[in-house]
């Protein structure tokens, strides 16, 4: 029963994605490009552990990302309107030892149709995360985040692009993104 309910939900999301694909606008940026982003690397010392960070401009003014990434961990923050939000919970939902699933660090920003993309038209963000489940198998999922003012939240993890894009408009928030400073 639960499996058939999930399949029905997945089918509904894919149908909604087809309808939205012609309307929403997607822009892509990298969150870990040393040439396009400001990269800092601080070696471990008596003052603290090693740290590495990529600070990247988003596709429109008022939007940026910061990826803390040193060898064995990654933690992505989205900065909107001067506030930073953590994606940690969504990433851990994929599995332990999580991080970005694509080496080029590309993320997809979804904007409402009609007019040039702007902060006002920004609807959401899709990030592919990877992780290891309790069964020690690798997992990948597309984490969907709503970035509309008043609704900054995680909308779930999805297996395919179509379902993730549909979730931007069709899925309910599962949990708010926590505001934290990287």
* pLDDT-based confidence at residue 18 (cuts at 50, 70, 90): very low
Mean pLDDT of the chain: 84
Q: Is the pLDDT of residue 174 over 90?
A: yes
| Sign of the CA dihedral with 55 first, then 53, 156, and 108 last | positive
**150-167 pLDDT, tens digit each:** 999 999 999 999 999 999
Q: Is the pLDDT of residue 71 over 60?
A: yes
Share of the chain above pLDDT 90, in %: 53
Q: Which of 6-10, 71-75, 130-134 has the lowest mean pLDDT?
A: 6-10
* pLDDT number for residue 178: 86
Selected residue with higher pLDDT from 99 and 81 = 81
């Amino acid at each position: 029963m639960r499996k058939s309910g999930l399949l029905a939900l997945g089918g509904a999301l894919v149908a909604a994605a087809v309808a939205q694909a012609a309307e929403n606008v997607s822009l892509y940026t990298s969150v870990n490009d040393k040439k396009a982003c400001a990269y800092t690397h601080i070696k471990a010392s008596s003052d603290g552990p090693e740290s590495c960070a990529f600070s990247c401009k988003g596709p429109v003014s008022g939007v940026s990302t910061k990826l803390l990434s040193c060898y064995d961990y990654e933690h992505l923050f989205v900065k909107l309107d001067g506030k930073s939000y953590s994606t940690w919970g969504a990433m851990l939902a994929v599995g332990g030892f999580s991080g970005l699933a694509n080496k080029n660090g590309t993320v997809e920003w979804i904007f409402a149709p009609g007019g040039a993309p702007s902060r006002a038209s920004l609807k959401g963000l899709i990030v592919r995360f990877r992780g290891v489940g309790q069964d020690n198998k690798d997992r990948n999922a597309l984490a969907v985040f709503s970035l509309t003012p008043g609704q900054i939240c995680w909308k779930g993890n999805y297996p395919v692009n179509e379902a993730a894009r549909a979730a931007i408009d069709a899925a309910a928030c599962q949990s708010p993104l926590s505001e934290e400073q990287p």
